[in-house]
Amino acid sequence: AHKFVAAAQKLRVLNALRNPSVGLAMTSSQYDEVTAAGIVARLVAMKRPALASSICTYVALENSIQAFARASRAAAFVSSSTPENTKLSDSQMAEVVIAMLTKEDAGSTTSDTTRNKRPSSQHTALLNRGAYAAVALAANKAGRPGVSSLLLMLETSVKEKVPALIEIGAFADAAAVAVSVWDADLLFLTLTSFEKACLQSSSDANQGRIKFIDMIIHKFTPEAMNLLQSYYRSSNNSMASPGSTIDNETTLMNLLISSQKFIEAGSHKAISSFSKDKKKNRHERIPIIKEASRVFGLGKESVFQKVATDEYCELLVDQDRLRAQYNSPLVAPESSSVTYTILSILKHAASCESPNAVKKLYQDADRLAKKYRVPEKRLWYLKVRGLSESQQWSSLRVLADSRAKSPIGFKPFAFAAIRGKQAIGEIMRYVERVTDPDERFDLFCEAKLWKRALDEANKLRDTSKIIHVRSLCNSSEIQGICDGLISQLS
């Protein structure tokens, strides 16, 4: 019985194909070789989707093949139903298409087996994944954008829905769909397609880029803008869009400024001055930094950044002047901070033989510190460090004996002398001027003057300090003295 039913079905299909309106005559052997699925594909290619859909239902092909045939039939129906030859509204047209995609024709003849294999309502959405997008594209080409929008609302396949939205020009909606599923690839595809469309829509590439940026800021999601910024930061000028006279760095700046992100825009511009190609020529960096300052000045919340950028620009000019004045790149290394520049000036004085040149360098250091408002304590620390590291011990003594009271005390002077391996007399010159007993004890321990350290610990009657000295010192004599002091204090 089953063979009889199958033979009858094959015969009816072959007769339908042999109909002169179709013209696809074939033998039973040919039918077996091509298979029913192949017949459906050929009928769709021949623009006979209605017959293909009927055969799918009649012979109970797989649900995916039936969905493909129904989608082809609906697309053909929409394409032939232009506004000139139909009176259906967009919603009515969409309802007809939905009916085609979700159920068979009421008048079609189906067997009990076919009815049992019909997809349930909960599986309808899965079976029609991509079908709504395909029909929507056909509706858009037929001049029915309203129908296209209604059908795309029902599409559940994001990978089909986003390209379809791009095709009909709904770029913002495509970006929103891509963001909803956190698909960066689809979002980037949307952005690049929209940029290309904007550039092609205008005869002036710059105007097209302005339109693109304005739409990204006001119509697209924040995630789209963030992804675009990341792309422009990571790409170089060679990756700029074809036909555009603006590189990606300029586009990123325009994007940030248009969205009023002045701090981010100014920071990006300032950082770009430190790139490898700009770093080789310091004269090219100053205009870039000035441009960064101008960008910072566009916003009220970026006043601090503007002041800092202006001061850094002035520092670059001062560094160039110092290098030219003393004919040495070491007096003010490139890209160095105010602190390190002052330190370099003080160290450079050690290489000068003329007292007048040394005095002039010290004055330049003080002048630079005053101009850039370096705190007094930091300046004194810099002087102690610079003079000690460059072995200018006589200048360090002059600094310690100056009329101005040391705002940092004399502990840094003593530490500098100790680390510079100076004589005990030179070290004691500064230690004796330290008033805090605890600090004096630490200095004596640093200088390994154990007996003097024990004297300080004994004055403080601090057993822990005596034990500390005993643990550091390897001399049996000193360790014996420590034991005696500990026994006296206990």
Please give the pLDDT value at position 387.
Answer: 94
444 close to 431: Cβ distance less than 8 angstroms: yes
In this prediction, residue 431 carries a pLDDT of 93
CA nearest to 97, candidates 63, 138, 59 = 138
Question: How does pLDDT run across 100-135, given as a tens digit for each residue?
Answer: 888 644 333 344 444 444 444 445 555 667 788 888
The predicted-structure confidence for 368-391, as pLDDT tens digits, reads as follows 999 999 999 999 999 999 999 999
Of the chain, the end-to-end C-alpha distance in Å amounts to 115
Residue 371 pLDDT: 94
CA angle 462, 466, 471 (to 5 degrees): 145
Q: Extract the tokens encoding 232.
A: 């422009």
Distance CA 123, CA 101 (A): 12
pLDDT score, position 426:
93
* DSSP code per residue over 329-387: TTSS-TT--HHHHHHHHHHHGGG---HHHHHHHHHHHHHHHHHTT--HHHHHHHHHHHH
CA-nearest of 92, 105, 164 to 130 is 164
- CA angle, corner 34, sides to 31 and 35, nearest 5? 75
* Summary count for the chain: helices (H), strands (E): 29, 0
228 in Cβ contact with 191 (< 8 Å): yes
- 81 close to 88: Cβ distance less than 8 angstroms: yes
DSSP, residue by residue, 40-106? HHHHHHTT-HHHHHHHHHHTT--HHHHHHHHHHHHHHHHHH--TTT----HHHHHHHHHHHHHS--T
DSSP state of 297: T
Tracing tokens 């154990």 back to the chain, one arrives at: 450
- Picking from 149, 148, 100, 155, the residue whose alpha carbon sits closest to that of residue 130 is 155
What residue ranges of the chain have pLDDT lower than 50?
A: 84-85, 104-122, 237-245, 278, 280
Q: Is the pTM of this model over 0.75?
A: no
Q: What is the pLDDT of residue 105?
A: 41
Q: List, in order, residues 6 or more apart from 375 with CB less than 8 Å away.
A: none
